[in-house]
Chains A and B, each alone.
Chain A
């Protein structure tokens, strides 16, 4: 039996520039959401989870990244470089795929103050991905998926499929989005942004908090380290076929995606011992997820949302949350749901309220997004 292993990773976010820095903050229940007053982004002060600009500039300088690269491209390059340090995968090999998940990529380049500084096509997502592939001398056409807020989970599903179908031996999965005026004004116009840091699954939740991040996850069929024991077990997507900007009231799409992922994984639903929910803290999303979790009979399984730490990082969310999930499995540590205090969904799901140790062998990641899309993926821990 051959497996797809989660070999190495990196997270750049408000919580730090490496996975370890991020996990350290999660372990201490410290979030990265702050109030920001930046008229370039939004007319009023609003809570948001931003990558520290001073540290970022220093790292860009130390890496000699020139201004031919956009802000987002620089962040991605730093993230991929760090993830490669602990991987045997050769990114310049024709057997290594690059898969990019992003919702809006270099959308900030549409702004007239910056649009003339880069070639016009750089705002297109394939052009962003090819810029990254070229930087790392990867000879393959990068795969780019843009499927709203499930893109990050999907990118892992797709990368695993590329290895399972023997098209590639390794896949460098990247998920990235930055906080731009475009995205902030759009979500604000939807009135889905909370005035306070978001409160997933809480009775007083009123909306999401936006964030920016980049995650890199390296999948391989031949890990260099024998201790590498977290493997991809299955994944799926499904559509609610109900509404383009609101989730199904019955959790139908999520229910279908979870069931298909479980079927592929060969694991029994009863063996799942941790769920990383999407948990955006909008009233409808969290309620829908509680219904989906109840319908797959996992109400008693410990579940959290990490949006209270990182905010909703869009195309990066599913990826960095899956990296955190793998860490939970390796170290048997469950992170509390920051922002949650009073149960606020109709189903009696087991929201994690205290960070602590618990054995996790099989875990489920959920995601949902605009367009009625839903995704699920399952990771499994092999016995050493």
Chain B
């Protein structure tokens, strides 16, 4: 069975591309400023955003932009929409922030508000809450974006009937930089969900 990529959002080096169109450009170098600027430009009016760690904000914003014109919720039930994401560094920036609060027993102040974000799938939880997606979840770790593995896995979930649509991609953040590609896989569309087509949008 063939599946299709019906929408995507790529965020890298301050540039935001949605379905081949550059929709925003930030001059800021750091992720914290970039996601704040994008948030202000799209105004989702979602107060929970400000509690998230920076990598969750990146995934959240990319999902927000990618989903904008997809009309997804009117076409599927909540449990038919899954989220499968991946990255290289898990939540290493937030992990390091939490480690700083426990490194020294004389200066020990671990915070649950930071600790909860030391799991990469919390980003999936945040996107699920925002859009009420209740289908399959998975967060995978690969050194580099693995379009072969991820397309096989998502196609299998759709082909064996567990979900009908899947928000898929790569959301990475470490001291070396940030990068997000989030795209939608469905059973209908124009761009076939193949390794080659995924790599084309990944390299935008």
Contacts and interface: CB of A to CB of B under 8 A. Distances in A.
Contacts of B204: none
A147 B149 CA distance: 17
A143 interface: yes
A241 B78 contact: yes
- The interface centre, meaning the residue of A187, A191, A373 with most chain B CB atoms within 10 A of its CB, is A373
Contacts of B143: 124, 126-127, 130
A115 B89 CA distance: 16
Contacts of B79: 238, 256, 260
A112 B121 contact: no
A12 B125 CA distance: 31
A147 B86 CA distance: 11
Contacts of B140: 143-146
Nearest to A167: B152
A314 to B, nearest CB: 10
B192 interface: no
Contact of A146 (B116, B121, B133, B160): B121
Contact of B135 (A43, A104, A238): A238
A243 B48 CA distance: 11
Contacts of A260: 79, 162
A165 B138 contact: no
A98 B114 CA distance: 31
Given A104-B118, A190-B112, A236 B125 contact: no
Contacts of B103: 111-112
B155 to A, nearest CB: 9
B129 A146 contact: no
Contacts of B160: 264
Interface stretch (A78-86, A178-186, A200-208, A328-336): A178-186
Given A189-B110, A239-B128, A239-B133, A181 B102 contact: yes
A268 B131 CA distance: 32
Interface in B89-117: 89-90, 92, 95-96, 98-99, 101-103, 105, 108, 110-112, 115-116
Contact of B112 (A107, A124, A145, A189): A189
Interface string B143-171: 10010010011001000101000000000
A144 B141 contact: yes
A143 B92 contact: no
Contact of A144 (B121, B131, B142): B142
B122 A371 contact: yes
B104 to A, nearest CB: 9
Contact of A186 (B96, B112, B124, B135): B112
B119 A239 contact: no
Contact of A165 (B90, B128, B146, B152): B152
Interface in A329-384: 369-373
A4 B108 CA distance: 48
B90 A146 contact: yes
Contacts of B2: none
B31 interface: no
A211 B88 CA distance: 26
Contacts of B99: 110-111, 182
A165 to B, nearest CB: 5
A188 interface: yes
B126 interface: yes
Given A126-B88, A146-B120, A238-B134, A371 B125 contact: yes
Contacts of A182: 95, 98-99, 102, 118
B125 A244 contact: yes
B142 to A, nearest CB: 6
A186 B99 CA distance: 10
Interface string A189-222: 1110000000000000000000000000000000
B139 interface: yes
A158 B136 CA distance: 12
A241 B133 contact: yes
A239 B135 contact: yes
A245 B134 contact: no
Given A141-B146, A370-B122, A161 B138 contact: no
Given A107-B95, A146-B90, 5 more contacts: A146-B121, A181-B102, A185-B110, A239-B83, A239-B124
9 contacts: A126-B141, A146-B139, A182-B95, A238-B136, A239-B125, A240-B134, A243-B129, A371-B128, A373-B124
